[in-house]
Structure formats: C-alpha cells, structure tokens
Amino acid sequence: MSSTRSFPTSRPRRLRSKKFLRKLVAEHQLSPHDLVAPLFVCENNEKNLAIDGMPAVQRIPLNKLASKVSRIHKLGIPAVALFPVVPVHLKSRYSSEAFNPNNLIARAITAIKKVTPDLGVITDVALDPYSIDGQDGITNVAGDIINDATLDALSRQALCLAAAGSDVVAPSDMMDGRVGAIRTTLDKHNYQNLPILAYTAKYASSLYGPFRSAVGSAGNLGNSNKLTYQMFPANSQEALYEASLDLQEGADMIMVKPGNLYADIIWRLSQECNAPIFAYQVSGEYSMLSHLGGTDPEQRAKIIMESLISLKRAGASAILTYFAEEAATLLS
Ligand code: PBG
C-alpha cells in the first residue's frame, strides 16, 4: 500500500468509468487456453445420456466422441479430462476393469487421438467408477479403504492409461503415497516424461452428487462417504502439507477441488508452491451456477465468466469446468 492520497484526489471510479479503461486495467484474463473440458464417456448402447442436475451436459457415447472433441479443439481448449460410465456388469470388488487394456477409457483415447492428436487427454486414476462399492480405493470386508493395497491397483491403472496414450494421469483418489507409487511405476516402464496432475487438495465435499450420478457410482456408494481419505472441509493448513507431499513424490501439477468454494485454498497454494495450480469447478458448482443463470443466456454468460475469473484471480493456472465449451464460445 504505497498510495498516500485520498479522496477527493483519489477516485477509483475514474478507471471504472469507461469500457476501454476497464479492459486496460484488468488484472486477470480468462482465455480458452485456461480451460479443460471434463467429459463423461459411455458405450454406444447407453440409453440414458442425460445427467441429473447437469442440464446442458450429456454423457458421450464413443461414436459421438470425435465430433465432440473436434469442436472442443477448434475452440482453443487445450485438453479434455475423461471419466468413464462403466457398465454395471463390469464393476467388481477389485475394480479389475480399470486394468483392462481395451476398456472404455482406452478406446476413448484411441478415438480422440485419431481426430485430434494435439488435444491433450487427461485421465483419472481412481477406482470408483469400476468398483461395486463406489469407493476410490480397495475396501476390506469391514468396508475400510486399504491404503497400500490400493497403491498397487492405482499404479497398474496409471500404467494402463499411459499405455493407452493418455497425455497426463491425474490421481483423484487421495490415498497416501499414491503420487510416488505411480511415478515409480511409470518411470520403471519408460514413461518418465508423462506428467502427473495430482488432486492434491480434494475435499470430502457434498458437491460431487451430479458427477456421481453421471458416472453411475452414486448408487454403489449409497449412504457411505469418503471422509477417511478426502480432506475435511474445515482444514486449510493440511492442504499445504498434502501439496508438499505430492510435490516431493513427483507431482508436476496440483489441483484444488472443489474450486469456487475453496478459492482460499487455491490462493494459499499458489502463494506457497512453485507448481501450477489447477482448479476443478465441480459438478455441484456447475449445477448451482446453472440454476442461478436460469433461462436467460446473458445472465448465464455473466455467471459463467464471473465464476471462472474468480478462480484465475485466486491463482489457478487452469480450470476444469463443465462450462468449458460455453465459456470458450463466449470468449471467441
Ligand atoms: C472420483 C472423482 C469425483 C470427482 C472427480 N473424480 C467424485 C468423488 O470423489 O466422489 C468429482 C467431480 C465433480 O463433481 O465434478 N475419483
């Protein structure tokens, strides 16, 4: 704070008085290049493409993926993040479908790379879409999530994703030591150059509901929760601890999730860490903001832009958002 002048000499409203001035003095910018589009990929025979609570978002059958990613690529969005809608009969106790080299995600990567080889493909490392209990890790008979047994499964899953052509792997499971385990496995198999985007500060949030119904894990999870591994919403210091561990273990980028409700965490990590911070504007945030936008396109556009610039202002270098295509269209 160096300015010693005050009213009436100082009038901050002068620089707000004209559009051109507001543009020139804007401290933060949003570009399509900041965005990642999360996509829910399903098999071609999937009947129900609609998602509860996400009116303008749909599950995408494999045979519609090419046109979807072409549009995304043309808009200047650098990457997509894939999430599978795993058919119920392929879910299992140990999530073995996650290691099937020809699983839905592997085929989706192939389909994307055929039409848009330059579009980045980020894939999720976690077992929840594949497991019968909807948990991100392997459970014992008592229902507890077994950390170290899960690390082997996650490493195997990450290796399959790497072999399938994923450009970035993103562990979202919140097991202790997973970044290190995945890094070691990838390096051992000559994937030293494959970046890891760690979901570093992933909170046990109640804003993931629409996502869970989109991938079809809501019913599997039932009344259980993820409080023993995802972070407690009352904590912020702990996010710094998680970040230091993930970076030591070899994470290249770190993520905060949810985004808008946890902007303070994005800010703290961006001040304290020398790694790019990603924000995930999650399904429940999308849902709330969409609802507020109502049916008025202008109102919706303003809400989208404000919610995204707030994440940039907080310190995010990139944002995963279900508004990615709409926002990029508005920006172009
Ligand atoms: C699970 C995962 C979740 C999301 C991304 N990966 C849900 C969960 O942890 O239960 C949520 C994303 C969203 O709500 O948009 N590995």
- Verify whether residue 113 is a known catalytic residue: no
27 C-alpha to center of ligand 1: Å?
31
> Is 77 close to ligand 1, i.e. is its CB under 6 Å away?
no
> Is 283 close to ligand 1, i.e. is its CB under 6 Å away?
yes
- Verify whether residue 19 is a known catalytic residue: no
pLDDT digits (tens, 9 = 90+) for 93-108: 999 999 999 999 999 9
Instruction: Give residue 272's pLDDT.
Output: 97
Report the nearest-CA residue for atom 7 of ligand 1: 208
**Residues facing 170 on adjacent strands:** 124
Instruction: Give residue 219's pLDDT.
Output: 87
Mean pLDDT of the chain: 96
Q: What is the pTM of this model?
A: 0.97
Percentage with pLDDT > 90 across the chain: 96
Among 68, 226, 257, 312, the one annotated catalytic: 257
User: Other C-beta atoms within 10 Å of 41: how many?
Assistant: 26
> Is 242 close to ligand 1, i.e. is its CB under 6 Å away?
no
Query: Which pLDDT band, with edges at 50, 70 and 90, does 4 fall under?
Result: confident
d(CA 158, CA 137): 14
Cα–Cα–Cα angle for 158, 223, 134, rounded to 5 degrees: 15
29 C-alpha to center of ligand 1: Å?
27
> Is 133 close to ligand 1, i.e. is its CB under 6 Å away?
no
- Tokens 């090419």 sit on residue: 66
Give the closest residue to 99 by CA, choosing from 80, 68, 127: 127
d(CA 96, CA 108): 18
d(CA 296, CA 284): 20
199 C-alpha to center of ligand 1: Å?
10
Any idea which of 78-82, 161-165, 187-191, 222-226 has the lowest mean pLDDT?
A: 222-226
Instruction: Give residue 1's pLDDT.
Output: 64
- The identity of residue 322, as a single letter, is Y
> Is 211 close to ligand 1, i.e. is its CB under 6 Å away?
yes
- The identity of residue 153, as a single letter, is A
pLDDT digits (tens, 9 = 90+) for 200-216: 999 999 999 999 999 99
Question: Is pLDDT above 80 for 3?
Answer: no
